[in-house]
Amino acid sequence: MWPYPKVIAHRGGGTLAPENTIAAMQCGLDFGYRAVEFDVMLSMDGVPVLMHDPLFGRTVRIGEAGGVATTNAAELLQMDAGSWYSESFIGEKVPGYAQVVQFCQQHGIWMNVEIKPVPGYETQTGRVVAQVTQALQTPDARLPLFSSFSFDALMAAQQQAPEIPRGYLLDEITPDWLSSLQQLDAVALHTNHKHLTPELAQQVKQAGYGLLCYTVNTQERAAEIRSWGVDAFCTDKINLIAPDF
């Protein structure tokens, strides 16, 4: 029922490296993780890059104005995405999506690609991320799993690359969750473990879907939601929860 890894390093390296960077992917790998989740959005010129926030100020250009959708990729890919975390990561750059895909393929790392569009760019982001993924897919690499909070982005990804599976992200499971998954031809529901109940988990599983939770950071909570039928979870604590937990 769930053909993917069951424990996934959140944003590459959890809290042990600057999120959504090659250093984060390497950190997860160093802890034995062969499954990562990361965020992808589009630059002004339509290039997919790894970034969680649409606006600068937290992980790049600390305290400055500006944003991903108003900046060309050439400039984004030169931005320091590591110094906010610690001095040891000064100079770690914002990576392009293609660079990260190639890194993960090289090291046998499965990817949960969260399509995280800047508001207003949902359809374009879903389509472009799917196009780039198709172009980079190699015969011996496992298909990634797309996920998104944006229904429109996932629908665009489905139309462009129907062969790449999809998981719909909901912070709280809404009454229309089943019809949404059916429209997207999704394979899984991804949700915040804090709002999940045993009853909701059973509804999802009985409907025949995979169930992934974010972001689970203790072994006790991981074991509890597993007992409800949850298939997989993302974690920030890759040093406390083993990849084969």
Name residue 180's beta-bridge partners. Answer: none
Please give the positions annotated as active site. Answer: 10, 52
Between CA 18 and CA 25 the distance in angstroms is 10
Contact 8, 35 (CB under 8 A): yes
Burial of 183 (0-12, 13-18, 19+ CB in 10 A): middle
Between CA 182 and CA 166 the distance in angstroms is 11
Between CA 216 and CA 225 the distance in angstroms is 9
Contact 122, 51 (CB under 8 A): no
